[in-house]
Amino acid sequence: MRALAGKSPLVTVGAVIVGLVCVAALGAPLLATSDPIDQDLTVVLKPPFWWDEGSLRHPLGTDHLGRDVYSRLVYGAQISLTISVLAALLGAMVGVVAGLVAGYLGGRVDAIIMRVVDLNLAFPLILLALAVVAILGPSLRNLVIVMSITTWMIYARVLRGLSLALREREFVQAVRALGAHDIRIVARHVLPNVLPPILVIWTLEVARVILMESALSFLGLGVPPPTPTWGRMLAEGRDYLTVAGWIAVFPGLAILVTVLGINLLGDGLRDLLDPRLRRQT
Amino acid sequence: MIRVVALSVAVVVAVAAGPVAAKPQGEVKIGLAAEPNTFDPHLTVGRNSQIFIVNVFDGLTARDAQGNLVPALAESWKRVNPTTWQFALRKGVKFHNGDDFNAECVKFTLDRGINPETKATIISELSTIARTEIVDPYTVNVVTKAPDFLLPVRLGELFGLMLSPKHTNAVGKEGIATKPNGTGPFKLVSWAKNERLVLEANEQYWRGAPKVKTIVVRPILEDAARIAALQAGEVDMIAPIPHVRIEELKRNAKLAIKTIPAPRIFHVTIDVRKPPFDNVKVRQALNHAVDVNAILRSLYFGHGTRLATVVDKNALGYDAGVPPYAYDPNRAKALLAEAGFPNGLDVEFDSFTGSIADHAKPAEAIVGYLQKVGLRVKQNVFEFSAFGPRRVSNTTAPLFIYSIGNSYLEPSWVIRWLTQGGLGMHYKNPKLDEMLTRIEATDDRARRAQLYGDVQRLIKDEAPFIFLFQADAAFGMSTRIDYAPRPDETQWLYPLGIKG
Amino acid sequence: MRRYIATRIVTAVLVVFAVSVVSFLLTFLTGDPAEIMLPPGATAVQIAQFRAEWGFDDPLTVQYWRFLRRAVQGDFGVSLRHGQSSLPLIAARLPATLQLTVTAMLLAIVLAVPLGVVAATHRGRAMDLVAMGVALLGQSVPNFWLAIMMILLFAVSWGVLPTSGRGEWTHVVMPATAIAINLMALLTRLVRTAVIEVLSEDYVRTARGKGLRELLVVMRHAVPNALIPLVTVVGLQFGYILGGAVVIETIFTWPGVGLFTIQAILNRDYPVVQASVFILATAVVLINLVVDLLYVWLDPRIRLA
C-alpha cells in the first residue's frame, strides 16, 4: 500500500475511499441509526438534518416510505459491494479458466472458447438479464449470476493472450520437457505470472459491475425490494428528484465516489504491478 | 333526445357554412407516456391503444364527458329479445376517404372481429357475438350467444370502432395498422413509431368539425422528460403526471393540472384456496393491517380514493354506506391469533413493474404494513410480462397486488372477473354469481344500482382481497389550451380547443 | 492470410447464427406473450387459442425450425404488436441509432484526444491530474443518472436544449453526451498512455533534440501512433455502446433500435426481438471482424491464430 501511495496522491485518495466504503459495509449494523427496511409513512420525504424541516433522527432524510436514507445507504454499501465483488469474482474465475485453457491448449478448444466470447459480447445484456430472472426468479443470487456473465469475457481475452505468450517461454518449456502435468504447469508456473493483471482487471471490473447494478435497477431488473442497494435507491429516487432530491443524490454520490475510488486504486495497482497492461485494459 | 342531437348537428353544419365558419385551426402538441400499438381496432393491445385510436374512429355508441352512454354511429338501440340488440344507424355519415357508413360496414366490422383469421386481440370482448344481421341499410341486429346487457357499451368506443369494408380489404392487414380509415373527428396523417404521430381535423365530421386543425403526438417515455417538455413549452399537454409532481406543477401559473379519478381498482388478491387464507379471519386481519389512507397520503399525495371493496367511486351502484375496513393493527393481530397464528405466519408476496400503472411502490408499502402485524413476507418483483404467465397458470404467490380497469363503468364486469375462480383470481361464490346474474338481467339502471349494495356488503365481509384504492389520473396542460379529461381514461381529443 | 480471412468470416457467420439460437431459446424461456397481448377479460380458452394461432404451443424444436426456415430468407415474421414485418420495422430505426452512436463516438474521440495529449505532455504535473480526473469522473458516473441530470439542468432550468425526441441537431446533444462520457474516459487514458510511449521512443527524442516544437512533435508523431489502438478500442466497444444506447434511448425517447428492442423484449414481441438481435449481433460481429483484420493488416507480427 505504501509503495502505491508513494506513486501518486490519487492512489492514496482511492485507497482511502475504498477503505471507508469497506468500513461502512462491514460496520453497517453498528453505523446505521435505524432499521434500513422499516417504513414509517408518517415521516415520508423528510429532508436531511441541515434543512429546516430535517432532524438528526434521520440525518440524510427519509425516502418515499419514510425509511432512513442514511441507514439504507450504509446497508446499501454492504449489499452493493458484496454483489459487485461476488459477480466480479465469479466472472474472473470463469474467465481465467476459459482464457488459460484457450491459450494453453490452443487449437479447436481455443477457437470455440473465443467464439463463445464473441457471442457473449454480441448478445444484448437486457435479454440475458430478463431470461435469467424469468427462469430462476428475481433474487440477489441471480443478479450476481447475470452480472458475472457480462464480465468473464475480458479475462478470457487477456488471459488467453498472456498464456499464449507464456507457453512459449523457456521456463515453461523446460518444466514441460521434464514431464510435468499440464494442470500442474498452469497452476505452478502460468497462474502466478498472470495474477497481477487479473487483480488489476478485477478491480476495474468491480467498479463497472457497481455501475451495471444501478443500470439494471433502473430498468427494474435489480435486487427485489425492500433490500437496499445503491442502484435500487437511485432508481427509486428518480421519481422524486425535484421534490426530494436527497433520495437519489446520496446513493448517486456514493456510487460515483466509490467507483472513482476503485478506479483510482486500480490505476495505481496497474502502474505498480504491470505497466505493460496499460494498453490492454 | 336523439332528434335533438341530429338537429344540433344540422345547426353546426349550417353555421359552418356561414360567414362565421368555425374552421379547425392551430396546432396542439401532446406528450404521452405511450402510443397505440396499431390503428387496427381489432388488434389493439392494452388500454393505452384503445383510449387513443378512438380519435380516428367512431363506435356505435359513445360516452359523454360525464361517462354516460350516448348515441354515436347508432342513433338508438333496443333489446328486441333477450339475445338480440337492434341498432338504428345514423345516416349520411362518411368515412375519411368518402365511403358511406351503413349497416354493411357494421356487419363487416363485427364479422371481421370474431373471425378467427383476424386473430383479434380483443376477441374476449367480442366473443359474446353470435352473428350480425342486416335488417335494412340503416338497421342491424346483433345476436349474442347469451343475454349480454353490456353489448351497447362494448360496441361503443371500447371495442366497437367501425371500419370501411372497401378500404380495409384494399390496404390489407398490415396496411390498416398505419393507414386507418374511420369516421372519427381526426385523420391520421403520418406516424413514425416512437417519434411522432400527426392527426388532422376531419372537417366533414358528423358531429361538426373539431376545433383544432393539427394535433402532434409525441411519445415521451421518461416522466421527468415529459414534464420538462411541458414546462419548456415543447408540448401543450401531457399525460400522465406522477402524483408526486402534481402539487409542484399546480404552483406554475402557466400550467393547468387537471386530475380525475381513474376507474382502475387496486387490490391485493388473496389465494383463498391455500391455508391459512381459506380462513376469512385471516383475510379480514390482512385488511385491518394495512393503512390504505396513509398510503394514499404519502405515495399518492392525496390524489386517490380509498375503496371499501372492488367497486370504484364513479361506477354504477357504488355504495358509500359500506365503510372500508378500519386500519387497526391490534385487531389484525387479534384476528390472526383467533385463527391460530399468534406468532404471525410466513408468506410470499408478488408485485411487478412495467405495467400501465405503478404497482411496485404501493406493494412495498403494503408489505411493510403486513410485517408490522407479524407476517414474515418474502417479496418478489417481476417484470409485468413475466408475471402474466404466473397469474394465468395460477402459480403466483398467495398474495399479489393487481389492478383492474373498470372500462365498462359497470361493477358486474369487474366483479365477475375478480371472482372467476381461475386465472389467478381464486375466489368463487355461487351466491355472489347468482346475485350478479340477477343484476345483469335487469335493464333498469336505477334498480341495478340498488342491487349492487348487497353485492358490496357480501364481498367486503368475505374479504377475498385486501381492498385498496383507485388513483387519480393527472393531465397537465398549458393555459393556452382547453381540455377536460374524461372519467373513463379515453383520450378523446374532439372537444380540445385553443383559447383566445 | 487469405485463409485466415476466410476462417474469420466463416466463424463470424457462425457466431451470428449462435446468437440467434441463444436469443430464440432465451425469449422462449421468458414466457409467451399471450397474457400481455390479450385484455384481462380473456378466458383460459381464448389464451390457449391465441397460443395455438401463433404456434406458441408447438414444441421448441418445431418453433425453432419454423423460425430458422424463414430467417434464412430474411423473414423474421410479423410483429405481434405492430402487425407489420419485423425486419423493416427495425431497419427503419437504424438511422436514428447510427446517428446517435456515431455522434457519441466522434464526441468521445474529439474530447479524448486533446485531454489525453495534454495529460501525456504534462505527465505528473497539475494538468495531468486534472485531465485524468475528468476522465476518471467520466468513467465513474452512471450514465442514466447523468442523462436525467442533464435534462433537469439543460432542458428545464436553462431551457437551452430540447428534452427528448429526435429532430434538429440539438436533440442529439444530450443523449450523445450521455453515451460518450464513459467511452471518452477510456479513450483519454488510452491516448495518454500511447503518447507517453511514443514520446519516449528514440526517433521522437531525436526530433525533439533537433529543436522541433513540442506541439509539432506530438501532432506529427505521437497522435497518429495513438490513433491505431484508439480505433481498435472504439471498434471493440461498439457492442457496449449499443448496449448503453438502450437505456439512453429510453430516457430521451430517442426513436432508435435500442428503444424499439427493449419495448419488444418487455412486450415479448418475439419476431421483433429476433430481427433486432440478429441485426445488432451482425453489426457487432462485423465491426469486430473488421477491427481484427485491420489489426493484422497494420501489424503483421500478430499471430494468425
Asked whether the beta carbons of B249 and B235 are under 8 A apart, the reply is no
Residues 222-261 on C with a CB inside 8 Å of B are 250-253, 255, 259-260
Print burial letters for B471-494: b (CB count within 10 Å at least 16), e (below 16): bbbbbbbbeebebebbbbbbbbbb
Q: Report the CATH fold assignment for C95-255.
A: MetI-like fold (1.10.3720)
Higher pLDDT, B17 or B116: B116
Give the residue numbers spanning the domain of B366: 261-473
| Dihedral sign of CA atoms A230, A235, A241, A243 in order | negative
Reference B39, options B27, B29, B49; nearest CA is: B49
Cα→Cα distances A30→A34, A75, B145, Å: 10, 10, 68
| Residue C131 grid coordinates | 485531465
pTM score, whole prediction? 0.89
Residue C74 CA, chain-centre distance (Å), reads 23
Mean pLDDT of B207-218: 97
Candidate from A118, A127, A279 with C-beta closest to C277: A127
Q: How confident is the model at residue B9 (pLDDT cuts 50, 70, 90)?
A: very low
For A38, nearest residue in chain B (alpha carbons): B368
Residue B242 to residue A42, Cβ atoms within 8 A: no
C166 inside 8 A of chain B by CB: yes
CA–CA separation, B419 and B435 (whole Å) = 13
Which chain B residue's Cα is nearest to C148? B224
CATH of the domain at B349: 3.10.105.10
Chain C residues touching residue A267 (CB < 8 angstroms) = 136
Q: What CATH number does residue A48 fall under?
A: 1.10.3720.10
Q: Which residues of B touch A238 (CB under 8 A)?
A: 224
Model pLDDT for residues B49-106, shown as the tens digit of each residue: 999 999 999 999 999 988 899 999 999 999 999 999 999 999 999 999 999 999 999 9
Amino acid at B249: L
Inter-chain CB proximity C140 and A118 less than 8 Å: no
When CB atoms are compared, the residue of A121, A214, A256 closest to C239 is A121
Q: Which of A226, C25, A83, A75 is nearest to B351 (CA)?
A: A226
Q: Would you say residue B438 lies in a domain?
A: yes
Q: Which of C133, C247, C266 sits opposite A218 (nearest CB)?
A: C247
The answer to whether the beta carbons of residues B263 and B406 sit under 8 Å apart is: yes
B191 and B299, same domain (yes or no) = no
pLDDT, tens only, A53-66: 888 899 999 999 99
**In chain C, what are the helix, strand and coil shares in percent, each to the nearest 5?**
75, 0, 25
**Counted domains in chain B:** 2
Which has the closest alpha carbon to B265: B48, B418, B433, B421?
Answer: B418
Q: What is the pLDDT of residue B17?
A: 43
Residues B175 and B50 in one domain: yes
Q: Which of C11, C17, C141, C145 to mutate to test the interface with A (most CBs of A within 10 A)?
A: C145
Q: What is the pLDDT along chain C (305 residues), one digit of tens a residue?
A: 678 788 888 888 888 888 888 888 888 877 788 888 998 889 989 999 999 988 888 988 899 898 888 888 888 999 999 999 999 999 999 999 999 999 999 999 999 988 988 888 888 788 888 888 888 888 889 888 899 889 888 988 888 999 889 988 999 999 999 999 988 988 888 888 888 877 777 777 777 676 667 777 777 777 777 676 777 777 777 777 887 788 899 999 999 999 998 899 888 898 999 899 888 888 888 887 887 777 667 665 544 43
Pull the grid cell for residue B225: 422528460
pLDDT at position B185 over 60: yes
| C282: closest chain A residue by CA | A122
CB atoms within 10 A of CB B109: 24
Residue of C164, C174, C247 to mutate, testing the B interface (most B Cβ within 10 Å of its Cβ): C164
Interface of B with C in 140-199 (CB under 8 A): 173-174, 176-178, 192-196
A243 touches chain C (CB under 8 A): no
Provide the angle, in degrees to the nearest 10, between the axes of the packed helices A125-136 and A140-149: 150
Could C155 and B119 be called an inter-chain contact, meaning their C-beta atoms sit closer than 8 Å? no
A98 exposed, middle or buried (CB, 10 Å; 0-12, 13-18, 19+)?
A: buried
Assigned C-alpha cell, A150: 457480462
Residue C142 and residue A127: Cβ atoms within 8 Å?
A: no
Which of A121, A131, A215 is the closest to C26 by Cβ? A131
Binary contact (A225, B381; C-beta < 8 A): yes
Domain shared by B205 and B304, yes or no: no
What is the DSSP pairing of strand B61-63 with strand B69-71? antiparallel
Q: What is the β-pairing status of strands B255-270 and B465-478?
A: antiparallel
Residues B451 and B494 in one domain: no
pLDDT on residue A189? 74
The distance from CA C292 to its chain's CA centroid, rounded to whole angstroms, is 17
**Separation of alpha carbons B376 and B249, rounded Å:** 39
Return the SS3 of B62. Answer: strand
pLDDT value at B12 more than 50: no
Separation in Å, CA of B367 to nearest CA in chain A = 9
Nearest to B386 among A41, A133, A225 (CB): A133
Residue B63, amino acid: R
For residue B344, which amino acid is it? G
Q: How far apart are CA A233 and CA C145, in angstroms?
A: 12
B213 and B265 in a single domain? The answer is no
**Residue in C10, C20, C23, C26 to test binding to A, most A beta-carbons within 10 Å:** C26
Residue of A nearest to C266 (CA): A130
Does the beta-carbon distance from B379 to A224 stay under 8 Å?
yes
So what's the pLDDT on residue B13? 43
Q: How far apart are the first and last CA of chain A?
A: 22
Amino acid sitting at position B121:
T
Residue ranges of the domains in chain C?
Answer: 2-72, 95-255
CB pairs under 8 A between A and B: 68
Say which CATH number the domain at B127 has.
3.40.190.10
* C152 to chain B, closest Cα gap in Å: 7
DSSP B448-476: HHHHHHHHHHHHHHH--EEEEEEEEEEEE
Closest CA–CA distance from residue C68 to any residue of chain A (Å): 18
Mean pLDDT, 10 residues at a time, chain A of 281 residues:
58 91 92 90 92 89 94 94 94 92 85 87 78 80 91 87 76 74 75 80 89 86 87 89 89 93 85 56 39
Enumerate residues 6+ apart whose C-beta is below 8 A from B205. Answer: B183, B184, B185, B494
Query: Which of A119, A229, A233, A250 to mutate: most C Cβ within 10 Å?
Result: A119
Binding partners of B (≥3 Cβ pairs within 8 A): A, C
Number of domains in chain A: 1
Do the Cβ atoms of C164 and B391 come within 8 Å? no
Q: What residue numbers bound the domain in which A41 lies?
A: 2-280
Predicted pLDDT at C190: 84
User: What does the pLDDT read at residue C299?
Assistant: 60
